[in-house]
Amino acid sequence: MESQKTVRKHRRLKHKWLYAVVSMTVVPFLILVGIELGLRSAGVGYPTSYFIKNKKNNIYLSNQRYGWRFFPPQLARHPFLNSIPAEKPEGTYRIFVLGGSAAKGEPDYSFNFARILEQMLYHHYPNRKFEIINTAMVAINSHVVHEITKDSAKLKPDLFIVYLGNNEVVGPFGAGTIFQSFSPNLAMIRASLWVKSLKIGQLLDSLVQNLLSKEQKNRVWRGMEMFLENRVPLNDPRLEKVYTHFERNLDDIIDTGCDSGAKVIVCTVATNLKDNAPFASMHRQDLSEAQRVDWEGYYKAGTELEAEGRYAEAADRYLQAGQIDDHYADLHFRLARCYMQLNRYEEAQEYYIKARDRDALRFRADTQINRIIRESALHRENDGVYLVDAERSFEENQRASSDIPGEELFYEHVHMNFFGNYLLAESVFSQVRAILPEDFRSPTSGGILLLSQDRYASLLAFTMWDLNKILGRVLERITRPPFTNQIDHDMLKKKILERMTQLKNFLTPKVLDLVQQVYERALEKRPDDWILHNNFAEFHRERGEYDKSIAHWQIVLNTVPNFADVNNNLGALLVYEGKYNEAIDYFLKSLGINPYLVEAHINLGVVLKKTEKKDEAIKHFSEALRLSPDNETARRHLENYALIKNP
């Protein structure tokens, strides 16, 4: 009898314990699931997959809000615009390109290495179908690319090409980032990204953003200038964590690609060594005052001797300074320049590399990053992993002065000019050709020799008009910090201005007629190339041929309807034609894609003003000024409404 009471007592305790466990775990879990489902049904938050299915056209488009999970929304950069058939066409070889701004093709994605590679493949294999899907984004690093790879792996890839490494320190979760706090724990980083893939996580993040100071909430994108205070010296202990995270992320990117059944090409990263001085230099932290005085004496003497053309003596002074403190990046850059003048090229290259690796504003992949990339592919060809040593290809290229990459290949620090992109495409093509399926590699299915650089330029309609446009963007970029802090800034700016002056004189109306013919021939061969149509629309707009611009931009939107800038451009041209209601529709579409597009807010404000909708116009002018406090156009419109005073 007593034992039965004991048994019943144990059962009651067991049931209470189970009830407590259920109450503390299952019930909260179900509540959270219910909240998550409720938020999803209410349309709260934003999609976090890189690709979004457009059911109407049965295609996948790149999610233009993808960056919101990694950056504050007002600072988020946008993915390359892609339009992919939801069902992979039979016989198609699908290639995904992964990386940051250099892979995207800054300062003009029209001429990135992936587009040149695509032309090479079409030329060699005219009877085969290739899809090259460029998933690169500005300012991202391996933490973001790891997530992009997982989404891309679901779309039946055949090959991944990874060109990644410049933003490891300054990108999300890096030691020099501005987007959030540096995190030394990779598991915590990945957990936080998973949480923000949930609507609950996005809601919490939004609440946190609202609690931030006004200055933080109103931050605007200012490019590399934003990172000026986030210097990371050579001996910063956080760098080791950055390298560890990069190695782990890169391994996981490769494994994800291989697990999907695709092959993976990883590329080392080429950087401008010879014609891009360090952005910031720092002394070693334990330098005493007496040592600093001695160092500065040697350094000053070196600069004076270098200015006089006495390079051997200047190099001696720089070496003496280096014996006291060799952390200062500019010291190594100056020493390299002296060795170049003395035709001691191997030593020059050594010190150019040291200058890059000691740059305290770390916007370039360094020696350690490229070492990790090389080791990631070591002895893995049996797994379908291959290395393209782009850094070495650039060094060995004959156009790079004395095997040291510089302005022959780059616009500035890492972004390649057309020849640099051509060289990278050529290096990647050699490896792609070797690993294509056997029927692709049949001698009867492709050509033998690559076309010339000029021929590919013609196929992509890269003209002197385009170059002038690109140089204008480069000039705008380098006239802001940190470029203005470089010791060779004045020389770089002078060269660009001289080149732009030459192009301006060259681009006469007759030459522009020839440019138009280049575009027309390119479109005859590639009538479905929306990038050609987009550039041609810009060309016609510049010539005042708005009807032709509208026609080409409408073709663009048929392929990539989520192109915020083109919706805005179309609206602006329709305003000129007096079609205000149509223009408003395009501006609203633009802001629905990118609510932080300042130009669209201003343009919408203008047309609302014209249609006497004062309150709505003021709302959009005010938002434009909030997003861009230096915007004089938005300020002037508000001044006209007497809402702000002219200072």
What is the mean pLDDT of the segment spanning 24-45?
Answer: 72
Q: Specify the pLDDT at position 208.
A: 78
pLDDT for residue 138 is more than 90: yes
Report the distance separating Cα 262 and Cα 136, nearest Å: 18
C-beta of residue 574 within 8 angstroms of C-beta of residue 550: yes
Which two three-digit tokens encode residue 170? 């300054």
Structure-token match 């349309």, residue found: 43
User: 44 falls in which pLDDT band (50, 70, 90)?
Assistant: confident
pLDDT at position 209 is 75
Q: What is the mean pLDDT of the chain?
A: 91
Least confident of 71-80, 420-429, 595-604: 71-80
**pLDDT for position 201:** 84
pLDDT at 512: 98
Positive or negative: CA dihedral 303, 307, 313, 315: positive
Write the DSSP symbol of residue 389: -
Give residue 529's pLDDT: 97
Say yes or no to pLDDT of 424 above 90. yes
List the one residue out of 182, 163, 293, 277 whose CA is nearest residue 227. Answer: 182
pLDDT at residue 640, as a whole number: 84
Query: Pick the residue with more confidence: 284 or 25?
Result: 284
Span 162-185, pLDDT tens digits: 999 999 999 999 999 988 788 899
Q: Say what angle helices 289-307 and 311-324 make with each other, to 10 degrees.
A: 170
Asked if residue 405 has pLDDT above 80, the reply is: yes
Q: What local confidence, expressed as pLDDT, does residue 251 receive?
A: 98
- pLDDT at 12 > cutoff 70: no
Whether the pLDDT of residue 21 is over 60: the answer is: no
- For 273-297, write each residue's pLDDT tens digit: 999 999 999 999 999 999 999 999 9
pLDDT of 643 above 60: no
Tokens at 172, concatenated = 């999300």
Q: Can you give the pTM of this predicted structure?
A: 0.93
Average pLDDT over residues 104-129: 95
How far is the C-alpha of 353 from the C-alpha of 366, rounded, in Å? 8
Q: Render pLDDT for 191-238 as a digit per residue (tens, 0 to 9).
A: 999 999 998 889 888 887 777 656 666 677 888 999 999 999 999 999
- pLDDT, one tens digit per residue, over 235-270 is 999 999 999 999 999 999 999 999 999 999 999 999
Taking only the tens place, the pLDDT of each residue in 372-385 is: 999 999 999 999 99
pLDDT of residue 402: 76
Q: For residues 443-472, give the mean pLDDT.
A: 86
What is the C-alpha separation between 361 and 284, in angstroms, rounded? Answer: 15
Mean pLDDT of 342-364: 97
Residue 454 has pLDDT above 50, yes or no: yes
In the predicted structure, residue 69 carries a pLDDT above the cut 80: yes
Q: Tens of pLDDT along 570-584? A: 999 999 999 999 999
Q: Is the dihedral of CA 208, 213, 214, 220 positive or negative?
A: negative
Residue 543 pLDDT greater than 70, yes or no: yes
In the predicted structure, residue 100 carries a pLDDT above the cut 90:
yes
Specify the pLDDT at position 215: 60
Judge contact between 188 and 293, C-beta under 8 A. Answer: no
Spatial distance between the Cα atoms of 410 and 153, rounded to a whole number of angstroms:
32
Q: For the chain, what percent of residues have pLDDT higher than 90? A: 80
Look at residue 623 in the predicted model and tell me its pLDDT. 93
Task: Name the amino acid, one letter, at 285.
Answer: Q
- Between the ranges 17-21, 158-162, 635-639, where is the mean pLDDT highest? 158-162
Q: Under a CB-based contact definition with an 8 Å cutoff, are residues 463 and 515 in contact?
A: yes
CB 617 within 8 A of CB 609: yes
Amino acid at position 647, single letter:
P
**Do 164 and 250 touch, CB atoms closer than 8 A?**
yes
pLDDT at 647: 47
